Chain A
Amino acid sequence: MLKIDDIVVKYDTIPVVKGVSMEVEEGELVALIGANGAGKSTILKTISGLMRPAQGKIMFNDMELSKMGANDIVKAGVVQVPEGRQIFSKMTVYENLRLGAFLRKDRAEFQKNIDYVFEMFPILKERLKQQAGTLSGGEQQMLAMGRALMSCPKFLLLDEPSMGLSPIMTEQVFSVIKTLKSHGITMLLVEQNAFEALEVADRAYILETGNITLSGNAQDLIKNPAVKEAYLGG
């Protein structure tokens, strides 16, 4: 479904992603794991069209995402829940959800999607008229995920959804990810929280300073001594 072919991404002249290839099949949940600064978020930004690869290409089915604008990529069904949530803090929860469905003009579909989001995140229904910036960190993460779901994504990119959250909230976020997976949504999950990510993922890639150093079945990676050492606290 998504095929990244040998991309190099640079900030000015400095390459941060140095020739990465990855693949995600339809229905899969793939984790991308690595330390701070390894280039995980850069890969997601490049998939979403916020950055351009200096080399290589990104295909989504038969569309070349690396040549499309950010809005066309969303239109194609590839939607990102960005790092640090990036909600519209001065707008209400409801307006945030409406913006999630910005490219979707069908009212009946909107109602169906918002009901789905409320089912996943009941708290958002209670907070509907509240200014989004006043929500707690966990609630903001749920809003960011709910907002992405409003666009009926075919492919969801999740950038550090557990960052800065309490253990209880983290638990909740991963349980939502599991539910989304059972609903057939294809996902690419970027995480520093390697253990939790490997537990829910089908497959995973390990990224170190811009290169994929290891990849494979998530269950195998959990048992891999090198991964244990580096990411799972020995």
Chain B
Amino acid sequence: MTSSYFLSQLMNGLKIGSVYAIVAIGYSMVYGILRLINFAHGDILTVGVYSILTLMAFGGLPLWLIIIISICISIGVGVMVERFAYRPLRSSGEETTLISSLAVSSILQNVIMMIFSPQKKAFHLPEYLTALHKVGSVTLSTMNIITFIAVFVILVILSIVIKRTSMGMAMRACSDNLTASRLMGIDVNKIIVMAFVIGCGLACVAGLMLAGEYKTIEPMMGFVPGLKAFCAAVLGGIGSLSGAVAGGFILGIAEMLFAGLMPTSITPYREAFVFVLLIIVLLFKPNGIFGGKEANKS
């Protein structure tokens, strides 16, 4: 193995890791407040990608506008899912909403299949985004560079919002103690919707990155990255945004190094490897790598 091969696998890990990281932020926010493993979160990513593809097919619209419209569509779908599939079930326990989220995931996948066919479709970004640049021994597209910057900017902005604004403080309060938050006069439903808005908007952005990288899309494309993003959020420590991002990158890099360095006979198991990694980490650090100790509640 040459060092440039190692480096390019590392770069691939960073690329896929940034997708996991962005999806993981949304996962972490929703899980932090509702303790809901939202299996449909990855499928919102798919909704976003298909929306981008459809709008691009119309032609004429500038890409930035397409992205903004698609973010809004993803948010719209996500907020409706929260309103009609999760909120009515919230009082009946976490398992019920968990099952509901599996159902939503399956519904979203099937609706997309019905509208767009189950076949893979080609997804091409404009040339100015796919143009390649050589940085030392690795090659990056303009899109990759934008992606890395975007992850960083999103993390910084969200951290400021969460730490400094009154909305952010309410979000932290809700993830700390939902009942007490209601007793403080916080409109908990509004905060939950806000978590879905941020999460689904980010999922759409992640979908664009994923589709831009693999250049094909299909109706199931969001599900497994969604699961891995959840692993990333758990790995980093649920509730911590920087933990989710770090978890996403660690998972992406580990996956690509595994795929690149192991004998080809076992590389098809790279998906399994990701989940095994999660189990091993949780055995030693049950609150995730960056998760603090659960504060004593008595």
A residues adjacent to B (C-beta < 8 A): 48-50, 69-71, 74-75, 79-80, 82, 86-91, 95, 98-100, 102-103, 131-134, 137, 147, 151, 164
Contacts and interface: CB of A to CB of B under 8 A. Distances in A.
A87 B166 CA distance: 18
Contacts of A102: 166, 169-170, 173, 184-186
Given A50-B179, A91-B172, A151 B185 contact: yes
A70 B185 contact: yes
B297 A133 contact: yes
A88 B176 contact: yes
B111 interface: no
Given A79-B183, A82-B183, A86-B183, A91 B173 contact: yes
Nearest to B175: A90
Interface residues of B, number: 22
A137 B295 contact: no
Given A102-B166, A133-B296, A164-B298, A88 B173 contact: yes
A99 B183 CA distance: 10
B170 to A, nearest CB: 7
A74 B295 contact: no
Contact of B180 (A87, A133, A151, A164): A87
Nearest to A98: B169
A90 B186 CA distance: 17
A88 B183 contact: no
Q: Which of B169, B176, B186 has the most CB of A within 10 A?
A: B176
A137 B187 CA distance: 28
Contacts of B187: 69, 71
Contact of A89 (B177, B181, B184, B186): B177
Contacts of B121: none
Contacts of A75: 185
9 contacts: A48-B182, A49-B182, A74-B183, A75-B185, A87-B180, A89-B176, A89-B297, A99-B173, A103-B185
Given A70-B188, A71-B187, A91-B172, 4 more contacts: A89-B176, A91-B173, A95-B172, A137-B298
A137 B296 CA distance: 10
B169 A95 contact: yes
Say whether chain B's binding surface is mostly helix, strand, loop, or mixed: helix
Interface in B155-214: 166, 169-170, 172-173, 176-177, 179-188
A91 B239 CA distance: 13
B185 to A, nearest CB: 3
A71 B170 CA distance: 13
Contacts of B186: 71, 99, 102
Q: Which of A86, A103, A134, A147 has the most CB of B within 10 A?
A: A86
Given A102-B170, A133-B297, A70 B183 contact: yes
Contacts of A147: 184
B175 to A, nearest CB: 8
A90 B176 contact: yes
A98 B169 CA distance: 9
Q: Which of B173, B181, B183, B292 has the most CB of A within 10 A?
A: B183
A134 B185 contact: no
A123 to B, nearest CB: 18
B179 A88 contact: no
A80 B183 contact: yes
A133 B292 CA distance: 12
Contact of B182 (A70, A100, A164): A70
Contacts of A71: 182, 185-188
A82 B169 CA distance: 20
A91 B183 CA distance: 16
Contacts of B179: 50, 82, 86
A138 B180 CA distance: 18
Contacts of B166: 102
A102 B170 CA distance: 8
**Nearest 10 A-B pairs (CB), nearest first?**
A133-B295, A74-B185, A86-B180, A89-B295, A70-B182, A103-B185, A88-B176, A71-B185, A71-B187, A102-B184
A86 B176 CA distance: 10
B182 A134 contact: no
A90 B294 CA distance: 8
Given A88-B176, A89-B177, A100 B184 contact: yes
Interface in B269-297: 292, 295-297
B178 to A, nearest CB: 10
Given A90-B176, A102-B170, A48 B183 contact: yes
A198 B162 CA distance: 44
A183 B62 CA distance: 64
A88 B283 CA distance: 27
Given A102-B186, A133-B296, A133-B297, A88 B180 contact: yes
